[in-house]
């Protein structure tokens, strides 16, 4: 019988240097691998800021240009801020995107940031059978190794995963997995493949900038206020003796807009006002888990 969990016991993990919290900045790169007739897909990319999606063999030139904005205008703004505040981010990249835009791969490597696999393309992995998914994972690893010079250690699926995903990631040598929303501290999955544990580094979607796409009434001020509230609460809990982590999810085509980038600037400025915050990549967080809790 499994041991009962103490519902009153808060999650916690000891961070390096007695930091009160860890902060993980995640930059999603999907631009350049979204669905399009040009890439052999049956139709257009359904994720569109205007909410326009028409089934059938049609090109959505406007939405394609909106994704391109993320590379041409959004990426320079995001990179500039991360450099200014000395923030190392984890870039969850659809591998094809870096093949299309190798200058972005070069910038990620130059800044010492971490490339994380967001699949080979930004497509629905959960529709794949086991053999197709295995090849999809291998293709992503090989591609990122070519563009960045290092292999990815972590994985984030597009939306949903399959019953095979985590086992396949373990078999392909991944050290951590992000497809989890169950808490605020990393933990070990020792059950998927007995004897071969994998670190689970949970993600957050509630303060993701995608909300500014899905809800036009959700302003940059709303997003900033929510992110700061999240940060301040996690910091408070850490200072009270229960250190946890926060994830902030960004997209080049969203946060990289002129009216939104200032919100990220203000958030990072707020973060740097506190000296007991460990800003870390997700691999650093996964590696740290191994130092405080045996796999």
**Domains of the chain with CATH codes:** 16-292 (3.20.20.370)
CB atoms within 10 A of CB 12: 15
Q: What Cα–Cα distance (Å) separates residue 95 from each residue in 104, 138, 267? A: 11, 11, 28
Phi-psi region at 119: left, alpha or beta (left = phi > 0; alpha = psi -120 to 50)? left
Q: 155: closest CA among 163, 143, 166, 147? A: 166
Instruction: Give pLDDT, residue 63.
Output: 87
CB atoms within 10 A of CB 294: 8
Instruction: Give pLDDT, residue 71.
Output: 97
Instruction: Give pLDDT, residue 8.
Output: 77
Q: Rounded to whole angstroms, how far apart are CA atoms 52 and 66?
A: 13
Instruction: Give pLDDT, residue 78.
Output: 98
Q: Considering the entire predicted model, what is its pTM?
A: 0.95
Q: Rounded to whole angstroms, how far apart are CA atoms 144 and 109?
A: 11
Mean pLDDT (10-residue bins), the chain, 295 residues:
69 96 98 91 85 84 92 98 98 98 97 97 92 98 98 96 97 98 97 98 96 92 98 98 98 97 98 98 98 94
Q: Rounded to whole angstroms, how far apart are CA atoms 223 and 153?
A: 29
């Amino acid at each position: 019988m499994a041991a009962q969990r103490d519902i009153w016991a808060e999650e916690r993990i000891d961070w390096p240097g007695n930091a009160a919290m860890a902060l993980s900045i995640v930059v999603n790169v999907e631009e350049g691998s979204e669905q399009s007739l040009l890439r052999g897909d049956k139709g257009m990319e359904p994720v569109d800021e205007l909410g326009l999606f028409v089934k059938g063999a049609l090109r959505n030139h406007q939405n394609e240009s909106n994704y391109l904005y993320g590379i041409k205008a959004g990426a320079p703004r995001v990179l500039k801020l991360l450099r200014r505040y000395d923030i190392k981010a984890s870039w969850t990249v659809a591998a094809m995107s870096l093949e299309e835009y190798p200058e972005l791969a070069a910038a990620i490597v130059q800044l010492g940031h971490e490339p994380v696999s967001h699949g080979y393309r930004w497509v629905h992995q959960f529709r794949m059978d086991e053999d197709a998914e295995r090849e999809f994972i291998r293709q992503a690893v090989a591609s990122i190794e070519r563009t960045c010079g290092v292999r990815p250690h972590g994985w984030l699926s597009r939306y949903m995963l399959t019953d095979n995903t985590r086992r396949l990631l373990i078999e392909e040598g991944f050290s951590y997995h992000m497809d989890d929303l169950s808490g605020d501290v990393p933990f070990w999955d020792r059950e998927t493949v007995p004897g071969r544990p994998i670190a689970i580094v949970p993600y957050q979607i509630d303060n993701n900038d995608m909300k500014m796409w899905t809800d036009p009434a959700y302003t940059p001020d709303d997003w900033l206020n929510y992110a700061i509230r999240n940060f301040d609460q996690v910091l408070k809990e850490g200072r009270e003796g229960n250190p946890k982590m926060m994830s902030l999810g960004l997209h080049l085509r969203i946060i990289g807009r002129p009216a939104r980038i200032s919100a990220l600037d203000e958030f990072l400025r707020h973060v740097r006002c506190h000296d007991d915050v460990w800003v870390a990549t997700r691999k650093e967080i996964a590696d740290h888990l191994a130092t405080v809790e045996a796999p």
